[in-house]
Amino acid sequence: MNKITKDSKIYIAGHRGMVGSAIRRALTAKGYTNLIGKTSKELDLRHQQAVIDFIDTEQPDVLIDAAARVGGILANNENPYPFLMENLQIQNNLIDAAHKAEISKFIFLGSSCIYPKFAPQPLKEEYLLTDSLEPTNEWYAIAKIAGVKACEAIRKQYGKDFVSLMPTNLYGPHDNFDLKSSHVLPAMLRKFHEAKANNHAPVSLWGSGTPMREFLHVDDLAQAVLFAVENVLPEHLYNVGTGTDVTIKALAETIQNSVGHTGEIIWDATKPDGTPRKLMDSSKLRSLGWAPKVALDEGIVWAYKWYLENCNT
């Protein structure tokens, strides 16, 4: 296995997205100088031969898969086929090309939605495939489960350092604020901001507000990826989360206060809540030395600041 140094070539698939750009920032800050990335126009990761040719030419020492088609409940519900197929294509092409090119370190990023809807809380890695998934995002979850198992199979059969990191709900710079495809936290930020600008108009939010969710700042995930780059982790699958969760109602109130909106919040109970609770047990990764640092209220302030600076572009 090649020793990773500051001039090792590291390819970040999805380097311009929220997760990929955070990983790039973290690696650069730590002194890594040989980072490569391609935009989706330069390299369509859904096309197998294009990915094979790119990996064969570049021969990176490390491949980090932060590329995916992502979205919230609405986007998943309305686009089941592309959420399944495009994610399978992207990750399968990257995993197989990395394996065939003899790349020894591969870091696969997934999501906490891989775990069963009604699994015991907090979610442990061993709960994978023990029950049925949340129906509103099972297409994305099934694709990500396939990626986890592919990396596990390569690790088991060939002894390569292929590891999967499963983050909880992420937020931060370069998030998606499109109300049709975004996740709950950035969608709320935008809704409260626009309502504030509209004379503090009422804000309508999905569901009852009672489900509980855990949120991790993307910079904390980037530090977990950096940890995986610099260490050989003993197992194939690790949860990445804060270990604490809040109700959606409490999240909304925190965001409302951060934005400065003083109008009414209306909960639309005709819309789905999704999984009742989704708290992750990240003790395995914590026991190895990683820990999150960004508190949720502080992270929301940072995220809103970034949104204000970039919402027009």
SS (H, E, C) the chain: CCCCCCCCCEEEECCCCHHHHHHHHHHHHCCCCCEECCCCCCCCCCCHHHHHHHHHHHCCCEEEECCCCCCCHHHHHHCHHHHHHHHHHHHHHHHHHHHHCCCCEEEEECCHHHCCCCCCCCECHHHCCCCCCCHHHHHHHHHHHHHHHHHHHHHHHHCCEEEEEEECEEECCCCCCCCCCCCHHHHHHHHHHHHHHCCCCCEEEECCCCCEECEEEHHHHHHHHHHHHHCCCCCCEEEECCCCCEEHHHHHHHHHHHHCCCCCEEEECCCCCCCCEECECCHHHHHHCCCCCCCHHHHHHHHHHHHHHHCCC
Residue 35 annotated as lining a ligand binding site: no
Residue 179 annotated as lining a ligand binding site: no
Residue 237 annotated as lining a ligand binding site: no
Q: Look at residues 304, 312, 269, 309 and name the one whose alpha carbon lies nearest to residue 196.
A: 304
Residue 15 annotated as lining a ligand binding site: yes
Residue 277 annotated as lining a ligand binding site: no
Residue 263 annotated as lining a ligand binding site: no
Residue 165 annotated as lining a ligand binding site: no
Catalytic annotation present for 140: yes
Residue 110 annotated as lining a ligand binding site: yes
- CB-CB neighbours of 31 under 10 Å: 9
Q: Which tokens hold the place of 267?
A: 């909960």
Residue 306 annotated as lining a ligand binding site: no
CB–CB of 126/114 below 8 Å? Answer: no
Residue 241 annotated as lining a ligand binding site: no
Residue 20 annotated as lining a ligand binding site: yes
Q: Which tokens hold the place of 143?
A: 């694709």
Residue 112 annotated as lining a ligand binding site: yes
Q: Look at residues 70, 24, 26 and name the one whose alpha carbon lies nearest to residue 167.
A: 70
Residue 167 annotated as lining a ligand binding site: yes
Residue 43 annotated as lining a ligand binding site: no
Residue 109 annotated as lining a ligand binding site: yes
Residue 200 annotated as lining a ligand binding site: no
Residue 16 annotated as lining a ligand binding site: yes
Q: Which of 11, 32, 115, 140 is catalytic?
A: 140
Catalytic residues: 140
Mark the binding-site residues for NADP(+), compressed into ranges. 14-20, 109-112, 144, 167-170, 183
Mark the binding-site residues for substrate, compressed into ranges. 191, 206, 213, 273
Mark the binding-site residues, compressed into ranges. 14-20, 109-112, 144, 167-170, 183, 191, 206, 213, 273
